[in-house]
A and B are shown apart, each in its own frame.
Chain A
Amino acid sequence: MSRYSAICHIIDQIRLTRDIFHLVLNAPDIARAARPGQFCMLATAHGKGLDPLLRRPLSIHDVGPSGRLEFLYRVVGRGTDLLAQKGPGDIVCVLGPLGQGFRLGTSSSSILVGGGLGTAPLLFLARGLEPRDITIILGGRDAQEIVRLDSFEKVAEKVLVTTEDGSLGIKGLVTSALERLDISPSSHIQHPPAIFACGPWPMMKAVCNWAAIRGLAVQVSLETQMACGTGICLGCATRSSGQDRYLHVCKDGPVFFATDIDWG
């Protein structure tokens, strides 16, 4: 596992909606070392500015030829706002790739479920999966939240969209789409699908419940507050399902098997 501290040029920064941005950097070392599910810490302050002090964690959305490293993010506060103000030619200091990504395994089919910006790591994941019977479910509050649909459609056999207000795809939550897939319990099928989920905590919890009933294993990508992202501060604790123990999202994760996590 190689990690790099790199000063990267922005190749492109595309505003997809009012508050969602697609950032493309030139980061050959990080892009080469990256595995699906890993993340990077991005410095957002201008120049050598001290505010915001901490770097911001973002999942790797995709990597491309000649060192392209891509992120998909929503502006929610000061750090992401400053990042969104940068444009082609500007530089961003990036640490990465960090953490443990998805275990790609050998299942003959996969279901990838993303809610909100939790869809970000799923594109890179879908590219890494082999063999390729892939279903992607993208969930959002409304049509505005469903971004890069065309890219997802290129890497999956089937893409289902759910929106809470029904403005695009199925009206409802991602679990409505899961129910429609009509997956039998794992004991009834020879090759149970691998399930991957990333999004808000209640969404991932619902996906895990849906999977647990069917005896299917789920890998989830978690978010916590992070200071370093490199495993030295121990700030990113999440309760493990084992007694009285904490896992550290930046080094033990961000991807975990759902059964290792205490869902509270």
Chain B
Amino acid sequence: MPAFERKDTHAMTRPEVDLAGIKLKNPVLLASGTCGYGQEINDLLDLELLGGLVVKGISLIERPGNPPPRIHETPCGLLNAIGLENVGLERFLSEKLPWLEKIDTAVIVNILGDSVEEYTQIAQRLNGVPGIEGIEVNISCPNVKAGGIAFGADPALAAEVTRRIKMVTSLPVIVKLSPNVTDITVIAKAVEEAGADALSLINTLLGMAIDIKNKRPALANVFGGLSGPAIKPIALRMVWQVARAVEIPVIGIGGISTPSDAIEFFMAGASAIQIGTATLVNPGSAAEVVTGIASFMDKEGIDDIRQIRII
């Protein structure tokens, strides 16, 4: 490839960032559960233009997911109860990762479990596997042994999962926080103290809808996770709070669909952002956000997006 072409691509994908040791072409990632395992979306969105992607949450054993209906639209939002359907760890490694390895973008593997052991087993297996730049731990799952309370709702449990994962992997560990808590900074600090390298937030907000015609909940699972533009103000508030409570980098997630949404998160203190529901609506969203951030930085005359953080 001629040198000028390389430079051209770089101009399209900057600004580079280092996120807890993970090198990213730019601070824009695709959120878990909204980009499959990458290959499903690459024809509509060039993944190499992005900082990276976080693959659909992986459990130790394949999960079939929830019965339908699994999704329901709300004003400017989406309720989902997919039920963490995924191909399981081994099939991810043998069927999905080889394709991802060929793509020049950071691959972060989102993991889930219903016990501390499940999380650690997955993390251990992923350690040292080529093509994986980091682990994102979804702690919004219920702990079966502790009566179903979510790991992310209890500071001690959240810290325990983090500590045990850190013990078995040398990959950067990003802990993804649940917003369904009274004070998210308490969980954030507990997880930081347990050794997390970065935090990502927020996961979906627990919600529901009722189909009044059929007199039953709109989702078969009754409750679902709310995402999309409707949750952006809450996500932004939580990123602001957490960014001021911890020293480790924070990845902002929640309702981002335009460059200006993303810039709000950087101003609130995020070091990177993830795009979720927007990709479902418009596959090109993340690429538009990358371009928009670069031109914003040009206009502002800055070379590090973290400079716009509001102190």
Contacts and interface: CB of A to CB of B under 8 A. Distances in A.
The answer to whether A and B assemble together is: yes
Given A53-B229, A232-B41, A5 B67 contact: no
Interface string A217-250: 0000000111110111111111100001110000
A54 interface: yes
Interface residues of B, number: 36
Interface string B44-83: 1000000000001000000011111111110111101010
B295 interface: no
A3 interface: yes
A93 B33 CA distance: 24
A227 B43 contact: no
A54 B281 contact: yes
A51 B230 CA distance: 10
A91 B71 CA distance: 27
Nearest to A93: B282
Given A5-B44, A233-B33, A225 B71 contact: yes
Nearest to A48: B258
Contacts of A255: none
Interface in B203-248: 228-229
A225 B80 contact: no
B155 interface: no
Contacts of B66: 237
A198 B287 CA distance: 37
A54 B43 contact: no
Nearest to A251: B40
A259 to B, nearest CB: 19
Interface in A34-84: 43, 50-55
A2 interface: yes
Contacts of B71: 225-227, 233, 235-236
A76 B228 CA distance: 23
B283 interface: yes
B178 interface: no
Interface residues of A, number: 31
A231 B78 CA distance: 16
A227 B40 contact: no
B78 A227 contact: yes
Contacts of A251: 40
Contacts of B82: 233-235
A53 B76 contact: yes
B200 interface: no
A244 B76 CA distance: 33
Contact of B68 (A51, A237, A244): A237
Given A5-B283, A232-B34, A53 B40 contact: no
A261 B76 CA distance: 32
A43 B82 CA distance: 23
A228 B281 CA distance: 6
B262 interface: no
Contacts of B72: 225
**Of A5, A52, A237, A244, which is in contact with the most chain B CB atoms at under 10 Å from its CB?**
A237
A22 to B, nearest CB: 25
A95 interface: yes
A3 B65 CA distance: 27
A56 to B, nearest CB: 10
A225 B68 contact: yes
Contacts of A52: 73
Contacts of B280: 54, 227-228, 230, 232-233
A54 B279 contact: no
B64 A5 contact: no
A53 B78 contact: yes
A224 B69 contact: yes
B35 interface: yes
A246 B69 contact: no
A114 B75 CA distance: 32
Interface string A98-113: 0000000000000000
Contacts of B65: 234, 237, 246
**Of A3, A51, A54, A235, which is in contact with the most chain B CB atoms at under 10 Å from its CB?**
A235
A54 B64 CA distance: 24
A54 B36 contact: no
A93 B82 CA distance: 26
25 contacts: A2-B43, A3-B43, A5-B283, A43-B281, A50-B228, A50-B229, A50-B257, A53-B229, A54-B73, A54-B280, A93-B282, A95-B44, A225-B68, A225-B71, A225-B72, A227-B277, A230-B41, A230-B44, A232-B36, A235-B82, A236-B70, A237-B66, A237-B68, A238-B68, A244-B64
Given A226-B71, A234-B70, A237-B65, 19 more contacts: A3-B43, A3-B44, A5-B44, A5-B283, A54-B73, A93-B282, A225-B69, A230-B41, A230-B44, A230-B283, A232-B34, A233-B71, A233-B80, A233-B280, A234-B56, A236-B71, A237-B67, A239-B67, A246-B64
Interface of A: 2-3, 5, 43, 50-55, 93, 95, 224-228, 230-239, 244-246, 251
- 5 smallest beta-carbon distances between A and B, as pairs: A235-B71, A228-B280, A232-B36, A231-B40, A50-B76
